[in-house]
Amino acid sequence: MYQYNDFDAAFVAERNAQFRAQVERRISGALTEDEFKPLRLMNGLYLQLHAYMLRVAIPYGTLNGAQMRQLAMIAETFDKGYGHFTTRQNIQYNWPKLKDVPDILDRLAEVEMHALQTSGNTIRNVTADHFAGAAADEVEDPRPTAELLRQWSTDHPEFQFLPRKFKLAVTGSAADRAVIRAHDIGIQIVEKDGEIGYKIIVGGGLGRTPMIGKTLAEFLPKADLLPFVEATVNVWNRLGRRDNKYKSRIKITVHEHGIDDIRARVLTRFEQIKPTFKGVDRDLFAQIQQNFDAPAYRNAPVDAHTAMRLANPAYASWSDTNITAHKNDSYAIVSISLKKHGATPGDASADQMRVMAELAETYGHDELRISHEQNVILPHVHQSDLPAIYAALREADLATANIGLISDIIACPGMDYCALATARSIPVAQEIAERFDELKLEHEIGALKIKISGCINACGHHHVGHIGILGLDRAGVENYQITLGGDGSEDAAIGERAGPGFSAEALVPAIERIIETYLDVRSEKAETFLQTYRRVGMGPFKAALYPDSKASAA
């Protein structure tokens, strides 16, 4: 795993000391809120509906046991005993007090963590496939590339005052688990004629104007990555609109100028700046890569797992949904669901964090990942250890067997916490999960992604949910708009609006009608919701959602 170098440590220490002084001056009244706000945002500190919120970066979602334990300690000492894992692979604390935040940042620095670039118009925390380094279908581990991008963008003088925030995501697999087509720049590691390179996608993004990214380069030689990405950011930095916050993201620049024009400009700029890189970035990459060596895999029989599957149906069900193929045949990737039916998606208590840390240390080569789907991953587990892990997870109330199913819902904090929200999202997720658990239908329904956002900013990725839910304020009442057919994978698509929104009370029954329709019209059990939707279109779902308008039209 990547180890901080001296520069990183000194940089973070200096920034923390500065922020401590700024907090003191704010509390004494020497700084006004207008002066302080940009400073606190640069350090990941937001003022939300009921309290401050601190957003801590987990670069490309990777952390070790000691870091997870420290997150648990912070949750207990400075917050209300839990943390919220987000769709950006970060963790948020919902109740820190202003005076404690400098201490929290110091505690984070002890384990090489920080809250920098989690906010503001900078290049944000680079995200990656949460199965990075472990997935059976991977061309190369995307994390060294993500780390290279992180080091290059951190405190880069040109990138502190961009037209708007800028988000990068990297995957090493063709199966896109990092939603790279909904990022400002999405990077896929690809192989062509035995050479490894990058496919570069630009101009994706959700929010008010959702767009699927377009291909900027089909195959970029590895050595060209930083100059090419820098050229892209340069072009946007010059063309990007600063006059209107809703038109400032690169997706709009790409949309307004067209991908061919942008590509031509990027290539011109790339030729200019490429010589200035002089290969330092390649040396750096080689150094970084050493820190991401595969763990020393163990060679042992896997019978324990096979036997347990036969003996224990609950275990078999859990291993059906929560385990993914590892590149080493004797290993498995374990997804720990933070979506117990009725619980808040993405929340983990301090005790649960410690259990996950311990499991990583004992069985998982000390590695943990946070997924953008708000779950926690043990990427390297020998299959013979799976029964012991399952038992420990059950003890900690973490063994919900629902990864990829209807109750594995992404939900942003919504109006329970977020100052920007137009409606709540958490209670909606809780109700849907509980309802389908009660109906005992979720395994019958199979693969289905519901994603919920509490406002148009779309932190809950609702546009790419197979079923997307957007909470709005309609004349002072919470109202929920449904979209269908969205997809965050390599076949990315923006969901289509089904029609008028639903009140909070009418929403869960509406979702039930969608599911009944799917179960009715699917060609066979193996046809997923998304496949069915693509085959039959909106028609049958619309008829089920709005039976009255159908009757009146008939």
| Binding residues vs ligand SF4 (CB under 6 A) | 412-414, 418, 420-421, 453-455, 457-460
Residues found near other proteins in the complex (CB under 8 A):
26-29, 32-33, 47-52, 80, 94-95, 97-99, 344, 415-417, 421, 424, 426-427, 430, 473, 476-478
Helix 386-395 to helix 350-363 angle (10° resolution) is 170
- Strand 496-497 and strand 477-484: the pairing is antiparallel
* Least distance between other proteins and beta carbon 503 (Å): 12
Q: In the 8-state DSSP scheme, what is residue 455? A: S
Closest to other proteins by CB, 416 vs 442, is 416
* Least distance between other proteins and beta carbon 68 (Å): 21
Closest to other proteins by CB, 275 vs 476, is 476
HEC assignment per residue over 206-258: CCCCCECCEEEEEEEEHHHHHHHHHHHHHHHHHHCCCCCHHHCCHHHHHHHHC
Helix 250-257 to helix 225-239 angle (10° resolution) is 80
Closest to ligand SF4 by CB, 72 vs 418, is 418
Q: Rounded to an integer, what distance in angstroms lies between the CA atom of residue 459 and that of residue 447? A: 22
Q: Which does 545 bind (CB under 5 to 8 A by kind): ligand SF4, other proteins, none?
A: none
Q: Which does 546 bind (CB under 5 to 8 A by kind): ligand SF4, other proteins, none?
A: none
Q: How far is CA 403 from CA 340, 359, 441, in A?
A: 10, 19, 14
* Least distance between ligand SF4 and beta carbon 458 (Å): 6
Kind plus residue range of the DSSP H or E element containing 320: helix 313-322
Q: Rounded to an integer, what distance in angstroms lies between the CA atom of residue 253 and that of residue 241? A: 8
Q: String of b and e for 456-495 (b: at least 16 CB within 10 Å)? A: bebbbbbbbbbbbbbbbeeeeebbbbbbbbbbbbeebbbb
Q: Which does 50 bind (CB under 5 to 8 A by kind): other proteins, ligand SF4, none?
A: other proteins
* Least distance between ligand SF4 and beta carbon 330 (Å): 40
Q: Which does 245 bind (CB under 5 to 8 A by kind): ligand SF4, other proteins, none?
A: none
Length of the chain equals 554
Q: Give me the helices (H) in 380-425, please.
A: 386-395
First and final CA of the chain: distance in angstroms?
62
- Backbone torsions φ then ψ of 228, nearest 5 degrees: -70, -45
Closest to ligand SF4 by CB, 18 vs 457, is 457
Q: Which does 460 bind (CB under 5 to 8 A by kind): other proteins, ligand SF4, none?
A: ligand SF4
Closest to ligand SF4 by CB, 179 vs 455, is 455
* Least distance between other proteins and beta carbon 162 (Å): 26
Closest to other proteins by CB, 303 vs 473, is 473
Q: Which does 26 bind (CB under 5 to 8 A by kind): ligand SF4, other proteins, none?
A: other proteins
The answer to whether 48 and 418 are in contact (CB under 8 A) is: yes
* Least distance between ligand SF4 and beta carbon 413 (Å): 5
Q: Which does 32 bind (CB under 5 to 8 A by kind): other proteins, ligand SF4, none?
A: other proteins
Q: Which does 298 bind (CB under 5 to 8 A by kind): ligand SF4, other proteins, none?
A: none
* Least distance between other proteins and beta carbon 458 (Å): 19
The answer to whether 87 and 411 are in contact (CB under 8 A) is: no
* Least distance between other proteins and beta carbon 164 (Å): 23
Closest to other proteins by CB, 324 vs 400, is 400
Closest to ligand SF4 by CB, 139 vs 472, is 472
Q: Which does 454 bind (CB under 5 to 8 A by kind): ligand SF4, other proteins, none?
A: ligand SF4
